[in-house]
């Protein structure tokens, strides 16, 4: 029984508590399951006797090298090689982030140093240099003391980061020895990702993670002469803003991607912006890691400047990562250049046409046979003089009047169409409201109603107003959960105070009457308080708690909300229909007035203003009326769970 319980406990471990390095092996003799660790690289390459000797030597080591938050940097790597020149083992002590993820630290140390981790426990690790250790590159022997120190740039200033050209870092010289060896062990996706990053800039060799090395954004040029924000063009009919679902999907995509860049500088990111734009041609998002162990890094300043330089959409920003989406209006540089050239050409043509139109009219040269050039103003005048006829002032006024009347008639027709749609939606709202109210059977007044004297009413009113705990009445109104909470209050006290935020006193009085009938209590007072209207109920001297606290004749919490929404929709539609009727009558009356009077310039201006006002009202009606699909969703109210409970809310002021 003990073994079975232990196995069950092992199966219920959370994903981050399980070890991926362990394999479950079944013992053939006892049928038990035992956990076996996967062998490390040192256990596979070093003989057992030699491995035990090295581990015994590692236990006696007292000198250790501290690995900072930034990981195995160039300075740490130099200290490791300096120790390996004198001793075949080195002891490492990890801090901060890598101390909580020693498995990743194990991989980083073996990849950066080329040694073998023979033992690790907690945040301590012992690394063996190898039997054929030859040291770092030959030029590392001439490293001065200044190069051994960790270079920590001050990114709070705007001065460019530079180091002495004579100083030498063996880690940078050794990059060509590390990167090609790792390409052989990559998958096809990682190799493709690596090839994309190769054309963006130098890699960040002090990377504290695993996988493909990101591009070192601090080594990219700080400023680019003539850099401009990329040209953007949004496709027709597409919204520029991202929805919540699109934002979530893009963040999920970015979470599984390795980092493209590693950034430690707060400002001067034109080189990085150019690399990001180039990367966006093949990737929707770009993932930037904020370097660790660098002073005064500010991810907010980084994100703001990159957003201005690139015009992308910021998906995520924290102290570890900055993620940008290229945007729906992103255009590749080659296409953007062609579009910009076409727009510039179009603008020049428009400028020439505008200059020609605003200047004096020039007679186009005629041909030898006496006919004007096709498409010119001279040809129009010639055709007008030959076949056209002059329009009198009366005919012109009549044409203007007919055009104005036709335009107003179109507005009336559009308003009548809106009126018909609103009538259909109002009928639909009436049916939905009637269907919801079918399950609501309000109780009537009790035959044996208990009464209280005026002295008792005054005393109970004072006590009720001093009560700190109360029940809020929201937009749902009276439903079964409110009655249940009233009985729960009456279990410990004689009074219960409810606060309604309704503004009309008549509606509050109707709610109080309904609560009195449903709960069986006595309404003491309705008082105006800063939070709304306070309703005080007394349970009565002969109060007996009912068996079922939730009345079956009232609506549930979900159905009460749907009833309130349907009622609001019905009232809004009724108000909108009345406004449409008024607008239609006013428009028809204006048409009649304009039909009786003569048309002049002032009347036409007034009519145009009225048409514009009517069109704007119809457009506003379209924006808030909504689609017919909303009603179809509300018809599914019967499928909701009726077992929702209304919480008892007590607000304590001290």
As a whole number, mean pLDDT of residues 431-459 equals 80
Q: Is the dihedral of CA 172, 174, 179, 180 positive or negative?
A: positive
Is 20 in a helix, a strand, or coil?
A: coil
Which of the four pLDDT bands, split at 50, 70 and 90, describes residue 632? Answer: very low
How many degrees, rounded to 5, is the angle at CA 233 between CA 231 and CA 239? Answer: 135
Contact 147, 77 (CB under 8 A): no
Strands 89-94 vs 65-67: parallel, antiparallel or unpaired: parallel
Q: Residues near 167 by Cβ (< 8 Å), separated by ≥ 6?
A: 144, 146, 147
Compute the average pLDDT of residues 409-419.
85
C-alpha separations of 576 from 250, 430, 618, 620 in Å = 41, 15, 11, 11
> What is the residue whose two structure tokens read 């006290």?
493
How far is Cα 132 from Cα 111, in angstroms, rounded to an integer?
16
From the CA atom positions of the chain, what is the Rg in Å? 40
CB-facing half-sphere around the CA of 1: CA atoms within 13 A: 0
Q: Is the dihedral of CA 634, 635, 636, 642 positive or negative?
A: positive
Q: What is the pTM of this model?
A: 0.44
Least confident of 202-211, 296-305, 578-587: 202-211
Rounded to whole angstroms, the Cα distance separating 416 from 580 reads 8
Q: Report the range out of 88-97, 143-152, 463-472 with the highest average pLDDT.
A: 463-472
Q: Do residues 33 and 25 touch, judged by C-beta distance below 8 A? A: yes
At 177, is the pLDDT very low, low, confident or very high (cuts 50, 70, 90)? very low
> Can you tell me the distance from the alpha carbon of 576 to that of 422, in angstroms, rounded to the nearest whole number?
8
| Percent residues over pLDDT 90 in the chain | 16
| Cα separations in angstroms, 297 against 205, 322, 565 | 19, 13, 50
Residue 334 main-chain phi, psi, to 5 deg: -65, -45
Least confident of 181-195, 316-330, 337-351: 181-195
Give tens-digit pLDDT for 41-68: 888 888 888 888 888 888 888 888 888 8
Average pLDDT, the chain: 76
Q: Are 298 and 263 in contact (CB under 8 A)?
A: no
Q: How many CB atoms lie within 10 A of CB 288?
A: 25
């Amino acid at each position: 029984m003990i073994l079975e319980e232990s196995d069950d406990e092992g199966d219920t471990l959370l994903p981050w508590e399980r070890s991926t390095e362990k394999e479950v092996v079944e013992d053939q003799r006892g049928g038990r399951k035992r956990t076996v660790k996967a062998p490390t690289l040192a256990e596979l390459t070093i003989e057992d006797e030699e491995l035990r000797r090295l581990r015994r030597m590692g236990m006696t080591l007292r000198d250790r090298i501290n690995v900072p938050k930034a990981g195995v940097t160039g300075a740490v790597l130099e200290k490791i090689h300096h120790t390996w020149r004198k001793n075949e083992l080195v002891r490492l002590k990890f801090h901060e982030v890598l101390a909580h993820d020693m498995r990743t630290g194990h991989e980083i140390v073996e990849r950066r140093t080329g040694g073998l981790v023979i033992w690790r426990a907690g945040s301590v690790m012992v690394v063996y240099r190898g039997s054929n250790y030859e040291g770092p590159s030959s030029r590392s022997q001439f490293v001065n003391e200044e190069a051994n120190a960790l270079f920590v740039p001050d990114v709070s200033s705007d001065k460019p980061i530079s180091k002495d050209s004579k100083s030498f870092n063996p880690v940078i010289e050794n990059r060509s020895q590390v990167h090609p060896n790792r390409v052989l062990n990559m998958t096809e996706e990682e190799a493709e990702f690596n090839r994309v990053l190769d054309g963006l800039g130098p890699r960040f060799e002090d990377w504290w993670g695993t996988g493909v090395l990101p591009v070192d954004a601090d080594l990219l040029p700080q400023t680019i002469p003539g850099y401009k924000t990329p040209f953007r063009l949004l496709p027709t009919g597409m919204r520029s803003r991202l929805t919540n679902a699109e934002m979530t999907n893009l963040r999920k995509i970015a979470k599984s991607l390795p980092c493209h860049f590693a950034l430690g500088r707060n400002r001067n990111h034109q080189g990085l912006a150019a690399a990001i734009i180039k990367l966006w041609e093949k990737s929707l998002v770009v993932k930037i890691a904020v370097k660790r162990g660098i002073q005064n890094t500010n991810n907010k300043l980084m994100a703001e400047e990159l957003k201005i330089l690139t015009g992308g959409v910021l998906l995520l920003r924290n102290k570890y990562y900055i993620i940008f989406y290229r945007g729906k209006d992103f255009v590749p540089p080659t296409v953007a250049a062609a579009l910009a050239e076409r727009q510039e050409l179009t603008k020049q043509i428009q400028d020439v046409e505008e200059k020609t139109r605003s200047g004096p009219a020039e007679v186009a040269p005629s041909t030898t046979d006496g006919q004007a050039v096709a498409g010119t103003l001279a040809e129009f005048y010639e055709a007008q003089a030959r076949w056209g006829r002059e329009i009198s002032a009366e005919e012109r006024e009549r044409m203007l009047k007919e055009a104005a009347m036709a335009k107003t008639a179109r507005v009336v027709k559009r308003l009548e169409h809106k009126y018909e749609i609103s009538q259909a939606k109002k009928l639909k709202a009436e049916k939905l409201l009637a269907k919801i109210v079918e399950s609501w059977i309000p109780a009537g007044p009790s035959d044996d109603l208990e009464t209280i004297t005026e002295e008792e009413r005054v005393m109970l009113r004072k006590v009720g107003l001093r009560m700190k705990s109360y029940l809020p009445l929201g937009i749902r109104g009276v439903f079964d959960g409110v009655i249940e909470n009233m009985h729960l209050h009456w279990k410990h006290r004689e009074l219960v105070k409810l606060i309604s935020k309704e503004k009309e006193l008549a509606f509050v009085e109707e709610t109080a009457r309904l609560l009195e009938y449903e709960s069986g209590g006595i309404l003491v007072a309705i008082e105006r308080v800063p939070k709304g209207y306070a309703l005080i109920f007394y349970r009565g001297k002969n109060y007996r708690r009912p068996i079922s606290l939730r009345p079956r004749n009232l609506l549930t919490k979900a159905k009460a909300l749907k009833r309130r929404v349907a009622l609001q929709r019905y009232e809004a539609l009724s108000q909108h229909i009345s406004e449409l009727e008024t607008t239609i009558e006013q428009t028809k009356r204006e048409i009649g007035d304009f039909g009786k009077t003569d048309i002049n310039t002032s009347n036409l201006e007034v009519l145009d203003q009225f048409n514009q006002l009517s069109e704007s009202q119809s457009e506003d009606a379209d924006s808030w009326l909504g689609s017919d699909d909303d009603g179809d969703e509300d018809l599914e109210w019967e499928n909701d769970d009726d077992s929702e409970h209304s919480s008892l809310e007590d607000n304590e002021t001290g």
